[in-house]
Structure 1
Amino acid sequence: MRLHTHIVCCLLAVTFFNISTTLAAEEQSLSCESLTASGNSEYPPFLWRETSTSTELRGVNRLIIDELSRRINIPIELIHVGPWSRAQGEVKNGRVDLMAGAFFTNERADYMDYFTPVMLHTNSVVWQRKDKQFPFSKKEDLVGKWGVTVINNSFGQEFDQYAQHNLNILTVASLLQALRMLAADRVDYVLYEKNPAYAYATMLRLSDAIVPVLPYISSEGLYLTMSKKSPCNINSVKYKIAVALQEMKQEGFTEQAVLDGVQEWEARSRKGVALK
């Protein structure tokens, strides 16, 4: 009888532990009542700000984030927190939960979890002055030249590693600064994604002075990521996000968001809003 009682007590203890663990997990899931997100705010038509003082981010990625929020039933606030380097730092330390668009690198994977499928694909190119173009067909053609890009920008693991050991690339805080340096003949080229750089070159009235050249230096997937230090980095939330992204891709929502986001940016550009 004493042995039987002991066994029953052990079974009850195990059962209670399992129930407690389940409840604890559910309570942890319920504690994620909202999410914050940020990204590269100089990235039209994917992300951009209406004015230089606005903290609201608009564009293709905003449309995707808003739909994701609706599908997982968790509010997501997408905001500008500073330059691209600052946004990465805020996600790294967990003060911002999500990054609305980032290329994959091993360094970033140390502090962010990547969701699949990718949100979008984007192409990065070499931008040159039209009146001082040099032959370019491969990354080795950049050796001996001086380039510039935005701080903490990535062009894929392979190109980044090559550039680190072989190329002279300055980094600046903003895309506007980089494009103006090229236009002023202070550098030989700018490295940046084609669509965002073209959008800003047009706004700065530099599209006749600087041009993108082929081939692309990289064609990378743009991922949604979550900070490993985010309090919402729990399996139940990440599962909801992954499922929603997959459904959005299958239903064609992402492709439509690209079309709608491009139209929104073009409409904004036609207003002639000056960049400062």
Structure 2
Amino acid sequence: MHRWFSDLFVLFTISLATSATVLAQEACPKVVISADPAYPPLHWYDGQHFQGASITLTTKALNAIGVPFEFRYLGPWKRVLIAAENGSIDLVTSLKDTPERREFLTFSLPLLSNPVAVFVRKGESFSFAKKEDLIGRRGGVARGNRFGQPFDSFMDEHLQVEVTHNMETSFRMLIANRFDYVLTGYYPATNALMTSKLDLRIQAVKPFVTETANLVGFVSKSPCLKYLNAFNEQIDKMRKNGDIDRELKKATEEWRRHPMLHKD
């Protein structure tokens, strides 16, 4: 009886180990990736494909690791975050690290520099030297945008900020004098203003309100999270060999030549 039970236990253990090995091998057949569709030159969707610096760098890193992947367009940025939260995608490229996002994302090493700036109407700028100068003024920010701590807490507690559908809407409301300023990433906003000719009417003021980096977010409950360390190694290599700076420059030039965003 004891021998029979012992043999059964051994067989069960071997079966369980074999099943675990198979599951581990099949757990992440491919990495499903999405991004903000309207944040050039870091990332944008042209109606057929995602483009931009973070898209190219993520592609290079995953190719180097040897992991199959798929970019999936999901619509507005807010939907991308919801998909990450419910686990229907595996990776988001790229975004700020915030406490709220850490509840469902595990972040990579810094990928791209993306300072956050205050944008105002040309000829109507107010005295701005520190974030406290925004208190009491009407601000705009695109839905889903967060800028990292400690600025997010300051914004939530002290600033009068209205959330809009996207960056373009924020700028239109700024021109219409419904906002005194808009908060957004410096590089995407500068490129968007140039291609829409709105740079003649809107400008960024210095200093930047924050200079936190953009990172890649792996969905914490995704089995693809196991590739995070290898992904970080590739980020480090690309930074050292100059790929990150080169791809940001190339993406900026590409966007200015072909400024095309898909409209839902």
TM-score of the aligned structures, taking structure 1 as reference length: 0.85
**Contact persistence 1:49–1:56 (CA under 8 A):** yes
Q: How does 1:170-189 map to 2 (within 5 A)?
A: 170-189=162-181
SS for the counterpart of 2:110 is: coil
* Residues 1:46 and 2:42 are matched in the alignment: yes
**Contact persistence 1:45–1:196 (CA under 8 A):** yes
Distance in 2, matches of 1:74 and 1:212, equals 40
Distance in 1, matches of 2:197 and 2:246, equals 29
Distance in 1, matches of 2:233 and 2:118, equals 36
Alpha-carbon shift at residue 152 of structure 1 (Å): 2.1
Distance 1:23 1:260, change over 3 A: farther
Gaps of 5+ in 2: none
Distance in 1, matches of 2:127 and 2:101, equals 33
Equivalent position of 1:230 in the other structure: 222
Q: 1:135 aligns with which of 115, 127, 130?
A: 127
**Contact persistence 1:55–1:79 (CA under 8 A):** no
Distance in 2, matches of 1:152 and 1:249, equals 28
Q: 1:251 aligns with which of 232, 235, 241?
A: 241
TM-score of the aligned structures, taking structure 2 as reference length: 0.89
Equivalent position amino acid for 1:38 in 2: S
Distance 1:256 1:186, change over 3 A: same
**Contact persistence 1:35–1:75 (CA under 8 A):** yes
Distance in 1, matches of 2:163 and 2:104, equals 22
* Residues 1:79 and 2:104 are matched in the alignment: no
Equivalent position amino acid for 1:253 in 2: D
Distance 1:275 1:104, change over 3 A: closer
Distance 1:20 1:274, change over 3 A: closer
Distance in 2, matches of 1:97 and 1:170, equals 30
Which digits, 9 at most, give the CA deviation of each residue in 1:41-65, with x for residues without a partner? 2111111122xxx152101111112
Equivalent position of 1:101 in the other structure: 94
Distance in 1, matches of 2:262 and 2:86, equals 31
Which digits, 9 at most, give the CA deviation of each residue in 1:199-255, with x for residues without a partner? 11122211011110000001011111111232433x3x3333233333333333222
Equivalent position amino acid for 1:76 in 2: F
Alpha-carbon shift at residue 66 of structure 1 (Å): 1.5
Paired residues in the alignment total 262
Distance in 2, matches of 1:22 and 1:214, equals 59
Q: 1:63 aligns with which of 53, 56, 65?
A: 56
SS for the counterpart of 1:86 is: helix
Gaps of 5+ in 1: none
**Contact persistence 1:149–1:191 (CA under 8 A):** yes
Equivalent position amino acid for 1:201 in 2: L
Distance in 1, matches of 2:15 and 2:253, equals 52
**Percent identity of equivalent pairs:** 27
